[in-house]
Structure 1
Amino acid sequence: MATSSSQTLALQRNSWEQNRFMEKLMTKIFNFYDEQTLIDVTFKVSNPTALVPAHRLILAAASPYFENLFNGNQGTNPVIEINDIDSDTFERLITFCYTGQALITVNTVAAMLNAAIVLKLDDAITSSVDYLMTHINEYTLQGAYTLERETQCEVLRQKIIEYETQNFMEISRSDEFLNFDVEKLQRILVSDNLNITREEDAYDAIQRWYNHDVPARQEQLPLLIACLRLTLSNVNFLMTQILPLPGCELLALRALSWIREPTARPIINMRFTEPRGISTTNCGDKTILAVCSELTPKLLRYYKTENKWQEYESIKFDYQCYGTILKDDNLLFIGGFNIGCISYNIVRCWNIRNKTWYNLQDMVQARRNHCVVELNGKIYAIGGYDGKNVLSSVERYTISVGWKFVNSLIVGRFDAGAVTFNGKIFIMGGNNGSGDLKSVECYNPDSNTWTSCADMKICHSSPGVTAHKGHIYVLSRSGAERYDPQQDTWSQICYLEVGYGLMTCVSLDNKLWAIGGWSKSADKPSVSVLDEENSCWVERCSLPRRNVCNCFVVPESMLSSM
């Protein structure tokens, strides 16, 4: 029986000794499973018939289905029959109970999801849904709709809604969109995260849906128009487009009154009055944490309500040009080099909440000026420089196996930018030792391969990179560009005049933020937000420091008050 002290110890986080113990323990358990040692239950599964051995304790800990099964009348039987899951799928999910990973393909994902629901394996459900959504072009959106109806899986339903919201423009042009019921369309249109550049885009989509069956949808039209941010529209649009619509006269008149009579707003019944991305449902719950690259790195916190930056913490260590990543409540500082120009392979972890350091397993290769990203819970260190050579090597960290090499880049590079998007890693720009690069590569973790993408318009070294509204944005002192992954095309956006100093970018409140560098116009460290409608950058409050090597969007609750 566990004592209170052992339970407390088990709940402690970020203990290097505990992580090491757990790794050794899990390795031993994997060996028992692989070698079929100490087996105490065997499942007889059909289609085709197979015997699947396992350990009761592991399965019961992984799933309430097995816990209830083993505590039931048939639970003590040495052989238990399973009749509603095929043997291949069942065996993969038993492996998942031991490893937390399972082989999923487009052809098997439906069976895996159905079986995971039966076996009450929540993590396997999430893995199956995530796989399906990252391979939606192969599985098809219509197939996902059908699977959601068949399984009634809430996780899949929510992921489909997220996908529809993020890819609204594309979906609104599809044939499936014309058959959406009004409740489904309302659920998408009210979303504060709806990926549109202007409210007229949503209006055009509503019109297309409405015109598909005017007699049947005339009464439903006002319900959808009410989902728009009408108070942000201009008067001409309200008068010529909204007012003539059947049943929408009152909505148009309220929006007109809101615009023309600001003093009367408290008594005007309008559901949405703020731009998407900063409504009261999510305003204030996310903020930006910036890491400034110095020998004594500074963390800066942005206060949205006061529109100001303030130093959050000063972290002391004596090296630089590391890669940084935020994982849970921890900032990981990976690689880098010291004053003597000796490159490191060390990985150090700083917990944001309790402000303490922990060491993690070293990388295989020392590297600096490299890229670091997280994808599907795994950390990747990509390219960089070891003090003598430009690196093309890539290594991946998982808790179970530590750092291991995966396939190398096509073109070795340092001072590049990298981002994860739709289940893949994109790396762009940087320097190959002979000069700055335009080239872009994409990594598919399923096939462990890098492929070349379309070159950028210009070369970028040490760029800020982020995913925003279905595109990838790259910003540097050389210029600003946007990548469309579906079309594999680049287009330049309005130029941001920034002088010396590192810079980065993030997507916060449905807006693109450029942070760092030196503003030439204001002669101070720069923070700007992209005004997409007017194609210009709007400067915000300046930073206390200019060299920002990375920024993270974090819950405000993560950061203790100063």
Structure 2
Amino acid sequence: MQLLSREGHTVSHNSKRHYHDAFVAMSRMRQRGLLCDIVLHVAAKEIRAHKVVLASCSPYFHAMFTSKYHPLPSDEMSESRQTHVTLHDIDPQALDQLVQFAYTAEIVVGEGNVQTLLPAASLLQLNGVRDACCKFLLSQLDPSNCLGIRGFADTHSCSDLLKAAHRYVLQHFVDVAKTEEFMLLPLKQVLELVSSDSLNVPSEEDVYRAVLSWVKHDVDARRQHVPRLMKCVRLPLLSRDFLLGHVDAESLVRHHPDCKDLLIEALKFHLLPEQRGVLGTSRTRPRRCEGAGPVLFAVGGGSLFAIHGDCEAYDTRSDRWHVVASMSTRRARVGVAAVGNRLYAVGGYDGTSDLATVESYDPVTNTWQPEVSMGTRRSCLGVAALHGLLYAAGGYDGASCLNRETQVSLHDYPAQDSSPAMGRTGPGARTTFLPLLKVSGGPDAHSAERYDPLMGAWTSVAAMSTRRRYVRVAMLDGNLYAVGGYDSSSHLATVEKYEPQVNAWTPVASMLSRRSSAGVAVLEGALYVAGGNDGTSCLNSVERYSPKAGAWESVAPMNIRRSTHDLVAMDGWLYAVGGNDGSSSLNSIEKYNPRTNKWVAASCMFTRRSSVGVAVLELLNFPPPSSPTLSVSSTSL
């Protein structure tokens, strides 16, 4: 029959079900024993199959059944010509499941078979099944089994699972250390864990207790390891009370000369706080959990008719704000800083009086706890952390910046925030009622004091050379910088540096502009100051100081004029948070990219906050379970 067609015309056929139908047919043939050309023997089990199917799915079987292309010695029989092959070191049931997988591309991984299936899949080089086993084990990680899964992954060279399990152990160490698996670990693995910088522990006390529990689990065999273990515990980071009441009282520790030396080192670290910069060792370095991310906390502040005790926190990973626990005291004009894994709110103004009280926030429990009060009432103060110590400098005690009796008009106090709830006016706002006040006494506003959380005590340090309130303080290169402020008569451009080793303040180059209530932060080795008040208006200008050059230079201005805001560095950006624009309190935030020299909008806070305190904590799990999850989108500046 002759067909008429166009020259070159063809029809293409592609059956999407061909491969599926073919493998279904081959699976049925295997079940019926048709055309099977290989029998796998494992233990007492026989598994019939087709070489071509096994070889096409498994590199292991491919090498076995095609070995005729790689001749063996004459006295060896190649499996490629055999119809029966015996396999060793593989579970019979797992092999049967994997052969079935070769035909169906389906397998179920669960608690009952994962421990035999993973090594079998590794042997047969079925990487997809192996990955599925690892994924299942990863989903099952728990403090009670993570050490076992980590060891299993190490044995079978599952590098990704090994890393994930090890990270889980570090992140959940407090719970892991209470398990039987931990008590049975060999010394080498315990040392590896307790020496890690990435260990996630609320306190070094948890590491100390874990080490002692491990030793006492088999004390006769393990007491010899106490000195090596104690070298990994960061004893200087323990409180003095704990060192004397627990560590020194423990016979396992006290009877070892090497442990005594470690205890002396820790106590010396406590007794010489001004020398901590030079006494630093690996045992004085705070741990930072792997996987932790920065969270920005906005604490207190004020807005129209209100002073806030509530707090909120911003997680950059989710770009969301969350409400966290409120402070026990309302605080505006508060100093806020992070020391270790806690946030400290220092002093401030509660609407009635200036405060000496201090409280700290525990992100693990989402609670605020009282700390030892300062020796001086302070609002409008500067607060910063250095070498594990909290410094409070300058401020206002509710009377005056002076230490002598004087008569002052409120005209002398250029206002900072005109909100009635903010009580006294300060630099920047309009004043409508100007009585005369008689004030007397009070500490100097150039005074400074230092809080040691490990000792639970405040100590006076050298006073600044200039009285400063509405001042900000930041830490750079192991020194503190007090920037600008207000001295009761004028807004300041001056800056001074505190060196803790010599306990002295020295002047450095003055800013390009006078500024009180500015935001100050350190980023990439430079000191930034943003906004503030120059005595006539709120500013949006920004400048930075290079310690190496000893000079200030202008950078891009903020998009909004801000004073009484706070500035903080996070993830390579500067965040300007809240404040007052000269007419109202703000909930807006903008961030600065030093690489592009530009400010852009960031997600707004829920609450308008001027005279706010801001700090950053590195947290693994955020938000805390008890905090509501809310979000506010960015606004265009």
The two structures have a TM-score, normalised by structure 2, of 0.46
The counterpart of 1:559, out of the listed 620, 623, 637, is: 623
Deviations 1:77-110 (A, max 9, x none): xxxxxxxxxxxxx8xx77424333587999x97x
Question: Does 1:291 find its partner at 2:291?
Answer: no
**Does structure 1 retain, via aligned residues, the 8 Å contact 2:331–2:347?**
no
* Paired amino acid for 2:460: F
**Partner in structure 1 of residue 329 of structure 2:** 317
**Partner in structure 1 of residue 567 of structure 2:** 505
With a CA cutoff of 8 Å and minimum separation of 6, indicate the structure with the bigger relative contact order: 2
Looking at structure 1, the residues matched to 272 and 469 of structure 2 have their Cα atoms a distance apart, in angstroms, of 33
C-alpha displacement at 1:60, in angstroms? 6.9
Q: Given the superposition, is the C-alpha separation of residues 315 and 410 from structure 1 closer, same or farther in structure 2, using an over 3 Å criterion?
A: same
* Paired amino acid for 2:378: R
**Does structure 2 retain, via aligned residues, the 8 Å contact 1:284–1:305?**
no
* Paired amino acid for 1:427: A
SS class of match (2:355): strand
Deviations 1:334-357 (A, max 9, x none): 2223333x3322222332322334
**Does structure 1 retain, via aligned residues, the 8 Å contact 2:520–2:530?**
yes
C-alpha displacement at 1:385, in angstroms? 1.0
Q: Given the superposition, is the C-alpha separation of residues 519 and 311 from structure 1 closer, same or farther in structure 2, using an over 3 Å criterion?
A: farther
Looking at structure 2, the residues matched to 469 and 26 of structure 1 have their Cα atoms a distance apart, in angstroms, of 36
Looking at structure 2, the residues matched to 400 and 322 of structure 1 have their Cα atoms a distance apart, in angstroms, of 23
C-alpha displacement at 1:409, in angstroms? 0.3
Question: Does 1:537 find its partner at 2:599?
Answer: yes
C-alpha displacement at 1:405, in angstroms? 0.8
SS class of match (1:100): helix
SS class of match (1:461): coil
Looking at structure 2, the residues matched to 395 and 492 of structure 1 have their Cα atoms a distance apart, in angstroms, of 32
SS class of match (1:345): coil
**Partner in structure 2 of residue 96 of structure 1:** 265
Question: Does 1:358 find its partner at 2:550?
Answer: no
Q: Given the superposition, is the C-alpha separation of residues 529 and 346 from structure 1 closer, same or farther in structure 2, using an over 3 Å criterion?
A: closer
Bigger mean CA offset, 56-65 vs 524-533: 56-65
* Paired amino acid for 1:516: G
SS class of match (1:496): coil
**Partner in structure 2 of residue 549 of structure 1:** 613
Looking at structure 2, the residues matched to 487 and 313 of structure 1 have their Cα atoms a distance apart, in angstroms, of 43
**Does structure 2 retain, via aligned residues, the 8 Å contact 1:498–1:517?**
no
C-alpha displacement at 1:28, in angstroms? 9.7
SS class of match (1:344): coil
Deviations 1:432-489 (A, max 9, x none): 1112110101100000010000000001211111111111111114221111011111
* Paired amino acid for 2:268: T
Question: Does 1:393 find its partner at 2:455?
Answer: no
**Partner in structure 2 of residue 456 of structure 1:** 511
Q: Given the superposition, is the C-alpha separation of residues 350 and 451 from structure 1 closer, same or farther in structure 2, using an over 3 Å criterion?
A: same
* Paired amino acid for 2:345: F
SS class of match (2:491): coil
**Does structure 2 retain, via aligned residues, the 8 Å contact 1:518–1:524?**
yes
**Does structure 2 retain, via aligned residues, the 8 Å contact 1:59–1:66?**
no
**Partner in structure 2 of residue 403 of structure 1:** 458
**Partner in structure 2 of residue 327 of structure 1:** 339
Looking at structure 1, the residues matched to 273 and 334 of structure 2 have their Cα atoms a distance apart, in angstroms, of 34
Deviations 1:5-63 (A, max 9, x none): xxxx99699xxxxxxx975686899xxxxxxxxxxxxxxxxxxxxxxxxx986897499
**Partner in structure 1 of residue 232 of structure 2:** none
Looking at structure 2, the residues matched to 25 and 366 of structure 1 have their Cα atoms a distance apart, in angstroms, of 30
Looking at structure 2, the residues matched to 519 and 485 of structure 1 have their Cα atoms a distance apart, in angstroms, of 30
- Decide which structure has the larger Cα Rg and report it: 2
The two structures have a TM-score, normalised by structure 1, of 0.51
Number of residue-to-residue matches in the alignment? 335
**Does structure 1 retain, via aligned residues, the 8 Å contact 2:446–2:463?**
yes
Looking at structure 1, the residues matched to 383 and 267 of structure 2 have their Cα atoms a distance apart, in angstroms, of 28
Q: Given the superposition, is the C-alpha separation of residues 483 and 64 from structure 1 closer, same or farther in structure 2, using an over 3 Å criterion?
A: farther
SS class of match (2:577): strand
Question: Does 1:375 find its partner at 2:386?
Answer: yes
SS class of match (2:392): strand
C-alpha displacement at 1:364, in angstroms? 1.5
Looking at structure 1, the residues matched to 525 and 607 of structure 2 have their Cα atoms a distance apart, in angstroms, of 30
Looking at structure 1, the residues matched to 255 and 500 of structure 2 have their Cα atoms a distance apart, in angstroms, of 27
Gaps of 5+ in 1: 14-20, 30-54, 71-89, 113-122, 131-154, 159-280
**Does structure 1 retain, via aligned residues, the 8 Å contact 2:274–2:500?**
no
**Does structure 1 retain, via aligned residues, the 8 Å contact 2:343–2:617?**
no
Question: Does 1:338 find its partner at 2:350?
Answer: yes
The counterpart of 1:445, out of the listed 473, 494, 500, is: 500
C-alpha displacement at 1:383, in angstroms? 0.9
C-alpha displacement at 1:516, in angstroms? 1.8
C-alpha displacement at 1:363, in angstroms? 1.5
The counterpart of 1:496, out of the listed 558, 567, 570, is: 558
Q: Given the superposition, is the C-alpha separation of residues 445 and 345 from structure 1 closer, same or farther in structure 2, using an over 3 Å criterion?
A: same
Identity of aligned residues (%): 21
Looking at structure 2, the residues matched to 22 and 104 of structure 1 have their Cα atoms a distance apart, in angstroms, of 13
Question: Does 1:527 find its partner at 2:596?
Answer: no
Q: Given the superposition, is the C-alpha separation of residues 465 and 368 from structure 1 closer, same or farther in structure 2, using an over 3 Å criterion?
A: same
Gaps of 5+ in 2: 1-177, 179-202, 208-237, 402-444, 532-537, 629-637
Looking at structure 1, the residues matched to 254 and 567 of structure 2 have their Cα atoms a distance apart, in angstroms, of 39
SS class of match (2:621): helix
C-alpha displacement at 1:328, in angstroms? 3.5
**Partner in structure 2 of residue 301 of structure 1:** 313
**Aligned ranges for residues 122-521 of structure 1 at < 5 Å?**
124-126=281-283, 285-294=293-302, 295-340=307-352, 342-390=353-401, 391-398=445-452, 399-400=454-455, 402-476=457-531, 477-478=538-539, 479-499=541-561, 502-517=564-579
Q: Given the superposition, is the C-alpha separation of residues 293 and 98 from structure 1 closer, same or farther in structure 2, using an over 3 Å criterion?
A: same
Q: Given the superposition, is the C-alpha separation of residues 457 and 344 from structure 1 closer, same or farther in structure 2, using an over 3 Å criterion?
A: same
Q: Given the superposition, is the C-alpha separation of residues 527 and 126 from structure 1 closer, same or farther in structure 2, using an over 3 Å criterion?
A: same
**Does structure 1 retain, via aligned residues, the 8 Å contact 2:340–2:388?**
no
Looking at structure 2, the residues matched to 518 and 319 of structure 1 have their Cα atoms a distance apart, in angstroms, of 16
**Does structure 1 retain, via aligned residues, the 8 Å contact 2:294–2:315?**
no
**Does structure 1 retain, via aligned residues, the 8 Å contact 2:274–2:503?**
no
Structure showing the higher strand proportion among its residues: 1
